[in-house]
Amino acid sequence: MSGVDGFTPGPLERDATFYVAGHAGLAGSAMWRALAREGFSDLVGRRSAELDLKDRDAVFAFFRETEPRYVVLAAAKVGGILANSTYPVDFLSDNLRIQTNVMDAAREVGVERLLFLGSSCIYPKFAPQPIREEALLTGHLEPTNDAYAIAKIAGILQVQAVRRQDGLPWISAMPTNLYGPNDNFSPLGSHVLPALIRRYDEAAASAAPSVTNWGTGTPRREFLHADDLADALLHLLEHYDGPEHVNVGTGSDATIREIAEAVAEVVGFEGETQWDTSKPDGTPQKLLDVSKLADSGWRSTIDLREGLDRTVAWYRDNAGSMRG
């Protein structure tokens, strides 16, 4: 479909400079792998120790030096319920600075295609399920991660503003809950699925009689393997151009209890699972309507069991060297 200023999506140039912001993280590393598989020969990435995206001057200098033609903005400060609830200022301030610096610098050097990666937490806590893109800004956010959500909403609006003011065909994508290689498995900073994998794997290794999880186990969650996400993002870059963000997910969900049972089975834990109902559940359900993405020609191919098998294998191979 044609978008701003008559731009028509199509195959990206495989020899063009392509910057993946956050290339060492869960989503960014998957994007890097996908681009390498697809023959992109000039991939650029910097770890946070090499380039602090909160440092505006450093970000502008980096863009002037590298002059990327394409950018995927997957860098972000992320965390689970505990981290988001404990450090809302950090999640708001850090993410706003990262996004603004990268997009402002990208504007200065005229980046042709930029994809901003958000999160499904942008939607109201009680949005009708499955959640359509139009649900944005129609209700109150989930209070345990509202600061992070506001930052991501600001990113969507910045992309839309750039399209209106500069005529650049930038786009945004909102993935559901992600998991896979290079996730954060730390006890205090992880999201629910990597936290479950670490908890059950350690319990299996120590032959613990039980595992205790937060909440009631009744909330429903949708999970997308990061490699599926990366394939979807490249598809969007080559097939979509519009101001509205696009949901990226599988279109199906399960209860946290069911997901915990699946993780326990994959890691070989045979003990009892208990639920600490004094702890918060978070949003009761968060299932994305992915019809817009499906209509463009893309669907998820990695089911939860296959994804868990691959992720647990990666976790065990890397447990000694990962963060946390």
Span 27-43, pLDDT tens digits: 999 999 999 999 999 99
Check the annotation: does 225 bind a ligand.
Answer: no
Domain spans, the chain: 12-183+223-252+286-302
* Span 237-253, average pLDDT: 97
Torsion of the alpha carbons at 19, 188, 282 and 172, rounded to the nearest 10: 0
* Span 184-188, average pLDDT: 79
> What pLDDT does 319 receive?
83
**pLDDT over 90 for what percent of the chain?**
84
> What pLDDT does 187 receive?
73
What's the token pair of residue 145?
């991660």
Question: What's the rounded Cα separation, in Å, for the pair 244 and 247?
Answer: 10
The active-site residue, picked from 19, 70, 123, 148, is 148
Check the annotation: does 10 bind a ligand.
Answer: no
Check the annotation: does 177 bind a ligand.
Answer: yes
**Residues 6 or more apart from 273 whose CB is under 8 A from it?**
210, 211, 212, 213, 257, 260, 261, 264
What's the token pair of residue 304?
């939860």
Most confidently modeled of 81-90, 171-180, 187-196?
A: 171-180
User: Running DSSP on this structure, what letter comes out for residue 25?
Assistant: S
Fold for domain 12-183+223-252+286-302? Rossmann fold (3.40.50)
Question: What's the rounded Cα separation, in Å, for the pair 319 and 317?
Answer: 6
C-alpha torsion sign, points 219, 224, 226, 230: negative
Q: Is the pLDDT of residue 1 over 60?
A: no
**pLDDT over 70 for what percent of the chain?**
97
Check the annotation: does 77 bind a ligand.
Answer: no
Task: Quote the pTM value.
Answer: 0.93
Please write the tens of the pLDDT for every residue from 114-153.
Answer: 999 999 999 998 899 999 999 999 999 989 889 999 999 9
Q: Is the pLDDT of residue 2 over 50?
A: no
- Give CA 13 to chain center in angstroms: 25
Check the annotation: does 199 bind a ligand.
Answer: yes
Please report which confidence band the pLDDT of residue 250 belongs to, taking 50, 70 and 90 as the band edges.
very high
> What pLDDT does 89 receive?
95
What's the token pair of residue 169?
């065909």
Check the annotation: does 191 bind a ligand.
Answer: yes
Please report which confidence band the pLDDT of residue 285 belongs to, taking 50, 70 and 90 as the band edges.
confident
Please report which confidence band the pLDDT of residue 312 belongs to, taking 50, 70 and 90 as the band edges.
very high
70 tagged catalytic: no
How many alpha carbons lie under 13 Å from residue 154 in its C-beta half-sphere?
A: 18
> What pLDDT does 6 receive?
67
Please report which confidence band the pLDDT of residue 85 belongs to, taking 50, 70 and 90 as the band edges.
confident
